[in-house]
Structure 1
């Protein structure tokens, strides 16, 4: 059974807008032509894409709350489309670039068969790309050596307990060692940091999502298996993220000392086979 998406509220759209600076990293990889923002949310990134020369943008989303905002903008076309429900092209018109910004982890998190839905979303992208087109993914990145032990430290055990009560992912479980210290894997601690940073009010949505699906190289392997050749990959820590967590009293440790994980991965992959997309963008 698919987990229903929580209703999108103003806090969600404000959070997406606040991350716009980090999203700008995708722009240098966009190719001229028809550009798709898949899972466009409030439209901030789609609007930024629409300012690029030689580009026209289609914003895709499923949620009515997002579609209403997108249709008010006027700088791009808007279509309603579900990601990961089939393997058909996302739009009738082939694309030069498809951007998935912080959306494929949602496809995974709310699906009855998470990995199957994620694989279908990549197949949709591949089917939509024109020859030489690229898919750009900006999403959570699992830390290297994700299964090794680590500890989460903080001042609010109640918030951690609330997070664990809502989260259903076995890979991200934590165990309380003593007041203010929780033990788990590097992946589990990193995932908790990414979720707890939003605070208690956002837990009813954020705790339902697994943000980190693979390491930097692991996600590249997923793209390669989908028939997309990876031409760029990078992992970064979003500006201000560590400072915000430090101020809130959250930190991470390993047996050998203090440690802090990256937050976001960026992957660019091209479909360069002769049968791509079926036309020009």
Structure 2
């Protein structure tokens, strides 16, 4: 434990005798029935202990000891900073009776620096330097994050102290480092620069452009109209609390709508508001998945629908105004809340029946039902997919030509990164039909410093302009085939043909379409699977009922026999192939994989189609990804019609088609 923890607590974690009488600040933080935590700082929502605020203060005191030794702070400076740190969070503590008294006195407990200063003055009678430091506690950091105006630091100018810089620098290092060492390392120069300005009496404001960039560090695209909106409606009027933790997963258009609706609610109330506090939204927007905190994508999608159309029922913005603060959240109908709870529990369970059930609700939430809308198991799925297919994903990059290359259906951005690394001088463009995927990719680009660009685009509907050198369809055409609704429903080859024709028309002369995807087995013959467990046979029966692809094969031929005793099934090679390459991903991915038909063209059908387009086939090969038999061999035996061990049908193909120059 830390040295400061040991000052107040025994080895077992209980308080030492008499410390509460001597240290009133400690009593407020330890004897409390109020748990006040910033969800932004949590790795897991389930990790709450109730001591988060106390332990944060202890960390600040430990850091102060380190800083005092390093910078040789005088005893008086250290005492001022130490007292400030001890009292700066007390408004987050206290028992219900004490908190009720503070509220009756008008202390804004959710603006904890102001309330803590008043509580300190009540207890000590001191309204001098330490009172001012508590009242302005954290404001330097908030200025640098763009949340409040520089002028909020005005009280610090009046502090008459020869060692003001040492006090302010050490205080801010303690409170910022205790939250995050990385944040402190990134902004300490900015902190020092702002403190120098405050000491010099310079409270000139940062530009609206600068503040907006700091407010939305993960948001790439905002325009002049966005800057003007904040400059006119937000920055001169309000301080922003918990803005980034609540809104960083929304795009700028959505943020503007949320703010506009919040301002409307404030105007209707007729009350004076100085603070926009988004902590309620930040707290309610997260939940745990596999032990880690994630945005509740179900709530977020419903909020997004409301943002597009405020008449949407079951959800509305919820703005509560108290003591000059507007607390922003969204409220959901009880039915909506139950659906959200169901989806969360279904996702957590990983059970096949729940995974199937969740598909029924997708249309209600407007989800894409494909490999790149897997919610919080997406990272795990993409890692598994990448491990299995890394060899062919790497090899197709070698066929890229021209000055620009498009990755269709970029998903998690894995191929974009590979292309950027392999071709630093080419323009790399990612596309997806989902605005949410593009939003996430833009955040990744900004966070990791990539140069590639992304845009919403669907080749089924349109060509690209300007034309490009290469277009890559890596594991995406089968999704176009499986999810595009046509006059004939889903699983219609015309959707693939339209996408490829539009892609071909989007190429410069000499440009290439590069395809890596599933391949359909030519012909028809029986193939059998002998499962090694009864669970495998149950999985197969579910697949029989749920898979709607292979419309060209009569139902009675898809599965010709099931032997319960030997756990053996026999069916058409293409049905068996589709099942096997779904089964390999397991129950957690079943609800998504069963929606898709992996093979839609045979290799010869690919060649015929590109010949009709007038393209030159540079390379065409079908193959079996080694990851499939390696994984499936633990689960099944594959048999031919005579009961002998059979080879797995090819799973994938690579096609390189070039647009003729003449």
TM-score range, shorter chain: 0.7 to 0.9
Higher helix share: 2
Unmatched segments (≥5 aa) in structure 1:
275-281
Higher strand share: 1
SS at match of 1:60: strand
Does residue 67 in structure 1 map to residue 67 in structure 2? no
Distance in 1 between residues matched to 2:413 and 2:368, nearest whole Å: 19
Normalising by structure 2, report the TM-score: 0.39
- For 1:204, the equivalent position in structure 2 comes to 591
- For 2:537, the equivalent position in structure 1 comes to 157
- For 1:174, the equivalent position in structure 2 comes to 559
SS at match of 2:421: coil
Residue 454 of structure 2, aligned match among 64, 74, 78 = 78
- For 1:118, the equivalent position in structure 2 comes to 496
Trace 1:1-281 onto structure 2 (pairs within 5 A).
Answer: 5-6=368-369, 7-9=373-375, 10=378, 11-18=380-387, 19-53=389-423, 54-71=425-442, 72-73=444-445, 74-84=450-460, 86=461, 88-89=462-463, 91-113=464-486, 114-145=492-523, 147-154=524-531, 155=533, 156-169=536-549, 170=551, 171=553, 173-179=558-564, 180-247=567-634, 249-256=635-642, 257=644, 258-274=646-662
Structure 1 residue 273, shift from structure 2 partner: 4.8
CA contact (8 A) 1:59 1:77 kept: yes
Deviations 1:58-94 (A, max 9, x none): 000122442233212223110011231x2x31x3221
CA contact (8 A) 1:141 1:265 kept: yes
Larger deviation, residues 149-158 vs 119-128: 149-158
CA contact (8 A) 1:38 1:61 kept: yes
Normalising by structure 1, report the TM-score: 0.88
Structure 1 residue 212, shift from structure 2 partner: 0.4
Deviations 1:250-271 (A, max 9, x none): 2322225322111110000011
Supply the RMSD in Å over aligned alpha carbons. Answer: 2.0
SS at match of 1:121: helix
Deviations 1:222-269 (A, max 9, x none): 22233422221111221322111001x223222253221111100000
Structure 1 residue 117, shift from structure 2 partner: 1.3
Structure 1 residue 14, shift from structure 2 partner: 3.2
Unmatched segments (≥5 aa) in structure 2:
1-362, 487-491
Deviations 1:158-217 (A, max 9, x none): 101121222112438324420221111111111111111111121111011000012222
Deviations 1:33-72 (A, max 9, x none): 1100011111101110112234221000122442233212
Distance in 2 between residues matched to 1:78 and 1:12, nearest whole Å: 22
Distance in 1 between residues matched to 2:478 and 2:596, nearest whole Å: 7
Larger deviation, residues 108-117 vs 218-227: 218-227
- In the alignment of these two chains, the number of paired residues is 267
Distance in 1 between residues matched to 2:435 and 2:638, nearest whole Å: 38
The one of the two structures with greater contact order (alpha-carbon pairs below 8 A, sep at least 6) is: 1
Distance in 1 between residues matched to 2:585 and 2:481, nearest whole Å: 20
Cα distance change of structure 1 residues 198 and 216 upon mapping to structure 2, 3 Å threshold:
same
SS at match of 2:412: coil
- For 2:328, the equivalent position in structure 1 comes to none
Point out the structure with max Rg over C-alpha: 2
Larger deviation, residues 110-119 vs 264-273: 110-119
Larger deviation, residues 16-25 vs 257-266: 16-25
CA contact (8 A) 1:166 1:204 kept: no
Cα distance change of structure 1 residues 15 and 69 upon mapping to structure 2, 3 Å threshold:
farther
| Runs of 4+ deviating beyond 6 Å | none
- For 1:279, the equivalent position in structure 2 comes to none
Distance in 2 between residues matched to 1:59 and 1:99, nearest whole Å: 10
SS at match of 2:542: helix
Deviations 1:122-164 (A, max 9, x none): 111111100000000100012233x112112223111011212
SS at match of 2:633: helix
Structure 1 residue 111, shift from structure 2 partner: 1.9
CA contact (8 A) 1:99 1:135 kept: yes
Distance in 2 between residues matched to 1:22 and 1:168, nearest whole Å: 28
